[in-house]
Structure 1
Amino acid sequence: MFAVKDIPGEGDLFYGVVQPGNDFWNAAFFCGSCAVLRRTAIASVGGFAGETVTEDAHTALKMQKRGWNTAYLNLRLSAGLATERLSIHVGQRARWARGMTQIFRVDNPLIGGRLTLAQRLCYLAAMTHFQFALPRIVFLTSPLAYLLFNQQIVAAPAITIAAYAAPHLLISLVVNERMHGRDRRAFWGEIYETLLAFHLVGPSLLPLIDPKRGKFNVTDKGGLLREGSSTFAS
């Protein structure tokens, strides 16, 4: 519990690192609030996008495909409410996973529009971010194949696997910590994404088959908790 104050906010990595990076390539996108949009830009794409449940990012993509520019101001000028309960937080992320995958299916950033290659790659990274869920679950559950069925996923001695995997994992953790440790602790990031993975695998994969599934909803915020608790992720 002593480490709670040292854990960055859950959104610090996105708003402190990812969005400024997107902005460098003129690919920062609308996130639903704290933004100023030109009426002519919105009108040029027929209003806010309603085909997906993440209308903010989809609207930004549509406008940039029409040639409009975006700018991200990397200053904290406002404060807002966050989810108070883990179940609500997971539900919010599941909606984001579904919406981003829907955008990838119905308005693929790699196809059409006036986007530069860098913009396409930035939007592609955003659209596919939540696909981390399936590989993580496979990584976590693969040992069960050996424990339950004596099936070797990798035909090699444990020491050989460790010799290849351990340096990669160690260097990844060290590099991530050095690059953006102020915005996302590597250890807590692993726990956070592992927790989300089991809830996001469905919402991040099903829209690839049926992008029209799912409905828009606003995440509940502003609730009062009867018992105090420490929140590690936000």
Structure 2
Amino acid sequence: MIEFANTAPAPDLEDVAFVADWLAQQFLEPPDAARILAIQGIQGQVAVHWIGSVLAQEEAADAICRTLNADTPEALAASLQRRHTQLFEGIFRQRSLPPYASIWDGTGHLFGAAIDRTQESLRALNVHIDSSCPEPADHISIQLVALAESLRQAQLGPAGALLANLRAWMPRFATALIQLDGDGFHGQLGRLLIALPDRVASLALSKVGLTASNDVERA
């Protein structure tokens, strides 16, 4: 068994932006054989463990690595594709979890106000959804990508709005995902999702505090 020592520096907002992008990719489409093969390598294992350390979810990262090393890349890709379809595109409400804010934020139906809120944040960031993307703006992947971009741009206003939107629904979605998928790949993603908002908030507060402190010193 490979032991991964945590010698990386403390995470910053750029690191959390990378993690948010990575999570967005997992919910937009399941890992294919090439991505799984990359994760099975040493560098891939280190990267996944680093993601876990950024969110203080090392056990979830370790479980993801075990899952993605349990079979050939081709067999795992086929299995994860089936599970992705069952969880996020299934027709049975009790066994599927639509990854859309409008379903979980109290609206209870697709194409709710969460779309307008997300689009407002995207406009503030000068980010546009590619025409080839079939998903509405309240899809979890689009909201995560928008959050990542707001952190990279250090736009704390839009980041705060996006974070508030995510906190209004994502914990319920992630908790239901854990209940439905347990210790599986997607259940572990749910654990990473739950940890993400608090990590973003704590690092953003640290950044604001540091900026205020520097302003006082310059004065």
- TM-score scaled by structure 1? 0.25
Query: Higher helix share goes to which structure?
Result: 2
Which of the pair has the greater relative contact order for Cα pairs under 8 Å at 6+ separation?
Answer: 1
TM-score by length of 2: 0.26
